[in-house]
Amino acid sequence: MRGSVFGKWLKSGSRTGNEELRFQSPSTAAADIEALVEYLGRMDSDRFVYRGQIKEWPGPLIPSLFRRSVRLKRVFTPRDAEYRQSLRHCGRSFIEMKPDSYIEWLVRDMNDGRLTQHDYQSLVKLSSNADFAALAANSGFDTALSKYVRAEHWSYVSERRHIWKTILDAQHCAMIRQLAFIQPFGYVLGMTLAQQYGFASELLDFTADIKVAAFFATHDAPNYKFEGCALSRRAGSDVGVVYRLPSAAGAIRHDRVDSYNYHTCPPQLHLKDVCIRFEDDSSPEMREQWVPRLFHEEAIGLVNAAIPLRFMNAMQTEDETTHRPLPQTEGIDRYLALYYQDGTGNVRYYRLLNQAPGSFSRSRLGRQSAVMIVPDELRIAEKEPGQFESAVFQAVEDVSQREGFERFYFRHSERAPALANVDREWLWPHEEDCFKLMISRVLDPSSQQYWFGDDPIPKRLDLVSPGYL
């Protein structure tokens, strides 16, 4: 993990029936967001997914993880020979990136952004120190830094505190994304949790609800408060935008969530398809008992001898005394213990994540009708023994050029839009959020410390974006 981060730095003429679409340029923008919502809502809105922005930002539409990468000059299309390296075969324009260049970009972006060999070695050492991470979360970064930096080096480090904090936070985020989300929960569920809880990811946020998109198009991050025309002045534009793509709802509804990886993940993920299975047992991993498949009659003696008793006990999904489903916290803890500590090969026993009916609809993922757009990518990768795969060539799709992508514009208003119950308090529920609990059990410094191989999981609950927890 450390080596991969530190080691190498339908657009034209769209129509609905015979009607020419409206509001598709800033000069013909709708009078306000309510007019645009009403207009788009008449078009069988269940057939689309949306993304709202307070303004149309210049440049390609790519995920946050790639916005902070060193971009190279070449742009590829399906006509280029490199297109044979496409992962998802849906992109039409690809921007070449320097692989694994996030840290390099951060250093370039800072004033006096130099890293000495001493800086490099110290940052690598601190990033893998579980006690440093926990202290930073509990007492603040400066307190943690002062404890682990020698007195004779403090003056030098304190002058470079900003760059050290930026890089250590970025490295911890990368470790959390990979080791605390993707590894234990699988690529589809893990990466969507990382994205939805504020960690830079390879995905783009969309929603299946036009009113949710309208909220994000009129409320600025990170506090998401309505500021009217003050927002327009700060954004440098009085015109906001809503993007639209055809919906692929239901495409993976009954597939195992761990049947997909980085290379095979489909171009669009509806979080309802991913998460509702934990309530209704609608997919194979929730219906199948793992133990009978493990104890194949031809190998029962060998396998039975290899499995510790605590492993078998941890797989029980009911309370042994009451025979009722386990409390959420205990189920999640057993799930994580099986993955990180079972000693039999990092088992994902999804049945332990079983949720009560209605859990998804009460969560922020459900209330935001969250949809993840997975960009296509041109990629050539290599993997050394015992290491994570790393790219030697990478070009990321500009999603705004994908077939079926459309733009709709509106003018910002001084009056807050009427979006029914869609407001900040409703979109970020504080109680009964099963995914909030899941994230807390992995990242809370007071919870069990987990390791992936030789790497500890940084207990940095403080890195979750403000308001998400």
Helices (H), 140-283: 141-148, 154-159, 161-175, 183-185, 187-196, 210-218, 229-235, 271-275, 277-280
Contacts of 330 (CB under 8 A, 6+ apart): none
Q: Specify the pLDDT at position 325.
A: 72
Give the angle 384-2-387 at the CA atoms, nearest 5°: 20
Whether residue 311 is predicted with pLDDT greater than 80 in this model: the reply is no
Percent pLDDT > 70 in the chain is: 85
Residue type, 164: W
Report the alpha-carbon distance of residue 236 to residue 230 in Å, rounded.
Answer: 10
Q: Specify the pLDDT at position 300.
A: 42
Residue 458, CA atoms < 13 Å, CB-side half-sphere: 28
Report the alpha-carbon distance of residue 8 to residue 91 in Å, rounded.
Answer: 27
Report the alpha-carbon distance of residue 25 to residue 409 in Å, rounded.
Answer: 6
Whether residue 3 is predicted with pLDDT greater than 60 in this model: the reply is no
Whether residue 316 is predicted with pLDDT greater than 80 in this model: the reply is no
Average pLDDT over residues 135-164: 91
Strands 239-246 and 48-53: antiparallel
Question: How sure is the predictor about 196, in pLDDT bands with cuts at 50, 70 and 90?
Answer: confident
Q: Across all residues in the chain, what is the average pLDDT?
A: 85
Retrieve residue 90's tokens. Answer: 């849906």
Average pLDDT over residues 320-343: 79
Question: How sure is the predictor about 68, in pLDDT bands with cuts at 50, 70 and 90?
Answer: confident
Q: Specify the pLDDT at position 326.
A: 74
Average pLDDT over residues 177-199: 89
**Residue ranges of E strands in 262-389:** 268-270, 370-373, 377-382
Q: Specify the pLDDT at position 244.
A: 97
Q: Specify the pLDDT at position 304.
A: 44
Q: Name which of 162, 135, 134 is nearest 147 in CA terms.
A: 135
- pLDDT tens string 401-448: 999 999 999 999 999 899 988 998 899 887 778 888 888 888 888 888
- pLDDT tens string 262-280: 899 999 999 999 999 999 9
Q: Specify the pLDDT at position 466.
A: 59
Question: How sure is the predictor about 223, in pLDDT bands with cuts at 50, 70 and 90?
Answer: confident
Residue type, 308: P
- pLDDT tens string 283-297: 888 877 655 444 444
Q: Which residues on neighbouring strands pair with residue 379, listed in sequence order?
A: 394
Whether residue 303 is predicted with pLDDT greater than 60 in this model: the reply is no
